[in-house]
Amino acid sequence: MKRILITGGAGFLGSHLSKKLLDNGHEVLCADNLFTGRRQNIAPLLDHPNFEFIRHDITNPLYVEVDEIYNLASPASPIHYQFDPVQTTKTSVLGAINMLGLAKRLKIKILQASTSEVYGDPAVHPQPESYWGNVNPIGPRACYDEGKRCAETLFFDYYRQHNLKIKVMRIFNTYGPHMQANDGRVVSNFIMQALHNESITIYGDGSQTRSFCYVDDLIEGMYALMNTGDHVTGPINIGNPGEFTMLELAETIIELTNSKSKITFKPLPIDDPKLRRPDISKAREVLNWEPKVQLREGLEKTIDYFQSQLAKEVKLVPLKVG
């Protein structure tokens, strides 16, 4: 049994990782400031004897005794990371410094949840780990993109300078239960609009592409990377190489929800990537990992989750008397 710290443990990915680690017999210390994480994500875990939650912002040092660290803390959708861009950068940079310092003191292994956004609006497609990216350092997305890039720099400097055991994974678009309905991500946006029979909003002409990885697959890849030998540092892309246009995604969700929604188009946001698809050759070779859940199957599970959340909200509405 290991005692494992997950920063951002009440978030979308962190809550799924917490459950997996508990199921595998470990103790989990979940740290989250609940800016985008939610108590309801970890509510089923709170009574578990091996689970502990602390409310903490990793821009401040954390003094705990653990055996491994998964550093997942960061807002990940444009709506959230652009709400307070300075704090977003601090979370990536100061958070990395604080967690790396903790790992150095304890002489333990630490995993950084980086992002495909380090590739920016790519000029290379699909994106291999060797690609240095095409990022606007002063644009509205830079607080997230450059914050994550700087965090990777810090991880590899600690590796070279202090011989720290590091793992760096670059996460591509991930979806599934525990996503927030209002987080601005394309899958949750489209599903909620479809369930309410509202117009589905596509930014641009719908030809831009994304690759969508179901959360269970992503967590398996994350766990596999953490448990490789110390010589494997990454960065390693973890995502689904299936590539879909926004128009294809919207049409599939309308079909699966039997929605009456129509599709409307709006201008593309500044610096929004036109193409996104991971080259996962390295993950296949080094981790023996590749995603198993196809998009339609994953969307069906995610739609079921949001439908259940809507049903709970309806039950909470007070009945009118008289």
Residue 126 tokens read as: 């699909």
Specify whether the CB–CB gap between 156 and 149 falls below 8 A. no
| Alpha carbon of residue 269 to chain centroid | 21
What amino acid positions are annotated as catalytic residues? Answer: 144
- pTM for the model stands at 0.92
Residue 239's CB is within 10 A of a number of other CB atoms, namely: 28
Per-residue pLDDT of the chain (322 residues; tens, 9 = 90+): 999 999 999 999 999 999 999 999 999 999 999 999 999 999 999 999 999 999 999 999 999 999 999 999 998 877 888 889 999 999 999 999 999 999 999 999 999 999 999 999 999 999 999 999 999 999 999 999 999 999 999 999 999 999 999 999 999 999 999 999 888 889 999 999 999 999 999 988 999 899 999 999 999 999 999 999 999 999 999 999 999 999 999 999 999 999 999 999 998 887 777 888 999 999 999 999 999 999 999 999 999 999 998 887 765 555 454 4
d(CA 145, CA 318): 43
Domains of the chain, each with CATH number or no CATH: 3-173+214-240+277-292 (3.40.50.720)
d(CA 259, CA 191): 10
Residue 153's CB is within 10 A of a number of other CB atoms, namely: 12
